[in-house]
Chains A and B, each alone.
Chain A
């Protein structure tokens, strides 16, 4: 496989949820089926064998269809860093969740060429009862590292996180900052071709933040392709080659990080 094809191509990606009535449910899910099986069993059968696409006519289920993301298309070349800008709830995280296969799209498709690593919130796979070292092994494996790879980079990861002293202490005794540092450190040492990163820099002290940004820049320089969501506009401008702006689930702008951030802030001032 060569590098002449883009690293990431997304075409018409969309994700819808059913809002109201119950909690957020996927309109294709078991809950919707069971619900309907109780009210009109016949139609469930026709639905199971018939149409595959979720449709918006389910009058029996209270609530309505809500598109968290719709019609998002873009492509990303090898080694490019794409910043994703948008307000809370605009659909940025949904986009990353779709690309990292945590959840499936309702429509559209995307191709990611290469190993994909994702860091959506640092340290979330940690378990409080385990020590820092044990959590590095756990978290690394879940993020897709081989055991040998983790052990090889163990010292590097510990050193970067600056929690050497407590590395054999259960993580539940850590401060919030320490957990985040360790979490970032594991993910930053992932050796994947594509990195999907969400909000990891939002917390932590200034000094560590600086080190994270430096680390990410060096990762970006090493030829990795990065998709990057942040609310920190300075960091975003600093790291990204290009940026996209997502507003209410739609991709409204593509361009240079400066232009996109400006447009985003202009809108933020108005609302």
Chain B
């Protein structure tokens, strides 16, 4: 029965409890899901804004990995020789650069997202997790454009896809989760310590050297493989190469280490973010 005195009923779900932060934070992922519209709209906003008043526009998503590939090819196929398990070096490097560019782009964007949108944080309530998630999701547009370039290159080199390509979505998902896990930590810390933003370019540069972007992971001595797998991007890149190119060594048992690292970082990051979240509006 609808109440007689009003045409509207008040849903219990919409009751808001305002109370001090206490104890262990809860994740409230359902609330994030209900606000998925905002994730999408913010992602679209960022893409629109990034390429407005830009001559090359969205083709920057291709230009960056393409140029890096050319430089890498000149250096690592021309000057110093790197083994690629018989893959043409441009393909070998681009298969790594596409997920890598996405990863760096996503964490860079996400790290500063809470600061960039501080006018939202201090004036409107919505689950703050929406912001880093939106940054990580929004980067996928660039990923798919760059991926199209990779596909074109695969065709040019006459590299036929095998059934392994069906596993590519899992490696993409793993890339997204890796980026998100790191982003949750970096964005939350960046609210209080802007040092994160300054350290990030250096950090991602170092990370590139300890990821098999320019060289194959197989060139890492066996005794270091376990340590090497602590970097989940090693597994991501291995996975992409294995799924797309021929004769690449598949992801081994050490990949499980990467998966564990990401899951721990992701859930730790979610709780850390939620713990810090209540103070974003006060300290940003």
Contact = CB atoms under 8 A, between A and B. Distances in A.
Interface of A: 1-3, 10, 13, 17, 23-26, 28-31, 34, 52-53, 78, 97-116, 118, 120-121, 124-125, 127, 129-130, 134, 137-138, 141-144, 146-147, 170, 193, 223
A141 B37 contact: yes
Contacts of A78: 6
Contacts, number: 147
9 contacts: A10-B18, A25-B282, A34-B192, A97-B122, A110-B16, A112-B15, A115-B11, A124-B124, A141-B38
A179 B19 CA distance: 34
- Per CB-CB distance, the 5 closest pairs between chain A and chain B, nearest first, are A110-B18, A101-B125, A112-B16, A109-B19, A104-B278
Nearest to A148: B37
B49 A130 contact: yes
A117 to B, nearest CB: 10
Given A1-B12, A3-B5, A115-B14, A120 B45 contact: no
B17 interface: yes
Contact of A118 (B23, B52, B125, B189): B125
A78 B41 CA distance: 33
B277 to A, nearest CB: 9
Contact of B20 (A106, A124, A130, A223): A106
B282 A105 contact: no
Contacts of B9: 1
B160 interface: no
A23 B192 CA distance: 11
B124 A107 contact: no
A130 B45 contact: yes
Nearest to B22: A52
Contacts of B22: 52
B3 interface: yes
B282 A29 contact: yes
Contacts of B12: 1
Query: Could you say which of B52, B120, B125, B279 has the most chain A C-beta atoms within 10 Å of its C-beta?
Result: B125
Interface in B13-72: 14-23, 37-38, 41-42, 45, 48-49, 52-53
Contacts of B283: 23-26, 29, 31
B170 interface: no
Contacts of A146: 37
Contacts of B150: none
B223 interface: no
